Chains A and B, each alone.
Chain A
């Protein structure tokens, strides 16, 4: 089931994908340059988290309102200049998947490396990582939603300013460059104050509105990093939805690169 997960730097990005921020920009820019500037600033503001740990609860809802749960823990290590982020994700439930773990080395200039550990067989499998659009753990989040992304992987266009419930937003459209992406465009609502993504609409390959993501319960960590407590992804085509709650998030807890190798994958708990 976990075959071919595509997730980049999870901790920083699961959440960070939803938290895109913006620099102060000049007046005479093109919409494309202005859109790009928004995302570059978002990326800049996410820098410097060093490492992070958090627990996650995913609640899957079907059309009739039946729910099922997934629990996992995520550890992340911020990459340096040459290295991308490293992420270790450990599954606690469903119980038949307990102990399954996924190690990801994100790279900025080439495909990510991913290894999956199957505890029943004690086997580590390297994963061919081209998959992006498939569902993550049977949820409405796809691997590319969960994995976060680098600024360079999209083209952007600033659409308009908008005020919702007294809050000022930039509305920016982004277009994935990756041919394996499941989307043709994503429209994001980013608040002007802290450059956090409150809402995003995803359009599929047929250009129809597929999903809407909303983020709530933003909290400030280490006086620097805004993270939402809850993300909800609604699939308009199937009527299903997934809520993703994070808890016990800690930054700079002293994780080392030795916590992110194949041996640590095997003993992950």
Chain B
């Protein structure tokens, strides 16, 4: 679908009659580009036989032109990635392709673009306009969103209206990719429940400083939830998770208070979906020590608490976790930076550690190193027989949909009841596969061990970027 949108837009822009109309767009513009060679090395071989090391290349170009003295502008930013092992990670996206128009106290954008909402460091709950480009690995990467935006400015108050004209499905790692879920995600057969695939969504954001030191933003989103739910396809020989997209209404609040070297931040959301309504929040503080040890170094300490009312039933990894981080800014000629952090769940002892470091080389190159470690908490007890697993699953509440849950239980019960069904498994190995699939479902169902699905995916990543 992404590709189709890109293709249609390209055809529109480059067709002969259109070319005449769009010609001013190709006069006097400037191009810039970023090329990125990436190598990942995983500490363990993939649980599902995936490769330990992977090369990847990505490129993002940007074309910009403006006319009428900068009142009108056109920005075009295509993105491409080629991945050595993961077909799903090899992808094209139109990050931006929009016309912008600026007036004294309002401005507008029409086309594909990316929007950021939020304040906190570890997770941005309020940031829901764009779909995530999940395969990128960095959860802050987003797909371009087709939209119309009107932004009204009155002194320091900004009021943004968005009409989101088209939905983008989330990207997910493929079978051969690393950092994938234990059961593959069937992105070709995503389902829509109670929403159209091409629903038009709406969003509003009002941002305003309340005092000199306190900034606030309030946002409303009504449309297709960018976060899908997953259903199991109950095909025990070709197991898949089906992304299911539903409607969501979200109210978001952002607060940021700055005092001397302190910054206090909060993001909170209240969400209504056909299935549930809940609140979630991320809040915390950071403090910066300037010029530590009489050097040019700045050291920023960050602590945030991540909370979700649904507790372990929440689909995200972080529902009652503490995040800690230290950012070291060297303020040197090469803009060297190091960020070390960890997120800890004290109820389950799960922890995720990461280290990021980057430094410019010469005028046009930059090297970035990233390492991520998932700390486990002992072995998970997986059911060894079909009946054991069925019992565990029935109790897990994993399947949100009652009907399909019942179907799953019935199916498994039938299999157990009619032992004769075993004749289907002509070889003993097939029966093992069958149990294995159910064990993977059980892993996914274990909400106390969410990070366990990544436990063999500790890795180091080196990126070399060239800026043109």
Q: Which residues of A approach B to under 8 Å, CB–CB? A: 1, 3-4, 60, 62, 68-69, 93-98, 110-111, 113, 121-124, 126, 128, 130-131, 133-135, 138, 180, 256, 258, 261-263, 267, 269
Contacts and interface: CB of A to CB of B under 8 A. Distances in A.
A134 B465 contact: no
A262 B160 CA distance: 12
Interface in B323-349: 329, 331-335, 337
Contacts of B333: 60, 62, 68, 138
B436 interface: no
A98 B153 contact: no
A261 to B, nearest CB: 6
A122 B290 contact: no
A122 B107 contact: no
Contact of A128 (B102, B114, B151, B262): B262
B392 to A, nearest CB: 41
B258 A133 contact: no
Interface in B348-391: 360, 363-364, 366
A97 B363 contact: no
Interface in B246-302: 256, 258-263, 288, 290-291, 296, 298, 300
Contact of A263 (B32, B151, B261): B151
A96 B363 CA distance: 8
A153 B256 CA distance: 28
A128 B256 contact: no
A107 B442 CA distance: 60
B156 interface: yes
B116 A98 contact: no
B366 A122 contact: no
B215 interface: yes
B158 A96 contact: no
15 contacts: A3-B300, A4-B298, A94-B360, A95-B363, A98-B467, A122-B116, A123-B118, A126-B258, A135-B296, A138-B331, A138-B335, A261-B158, A263-B151, A263-B158, A267-B73
Contacts of A95: 32, 363-364, 467-468
Given A93-B363, A258-B105, A261-B156, A128 B260 contact: yes
A130 B261 contact: yes
B192 interface: no
Chain A interface, >50% SS class: loop
Given A95-B32, A122-B114, A4 B288 contact: yes
Contact of A4 (B115, B290, B334): B290
B334 to A, nearest CB: 7
Given A110-B212, A121-B116, A69 B363 contact: yes
B363 A94 contact: yes
A258 B104 contact: yes
A269 B64 contact: yes
B100 A267 contact: yes
A269 B140 CA distance: 23
B217 to A, nearest CB: 11
Given A138-B331, A258-B105, A113 B467 contact: no
B192 to A, nearest CB: 28
A170 to B, nearest CB: 32
Interface string B49-72: 000000000000000101000000
Contacts of B298: 3-4, 131, 134
A128 B288 contact: yes
Contact of A123 (B116, B260, B300): B116
Contacts of B335: 1, 94, 96-97, 138
A139 B215 CA distance: 31
Contacts of A60: 333
Contacts of B332: 135, 138
A98 B30 CA distance: 13
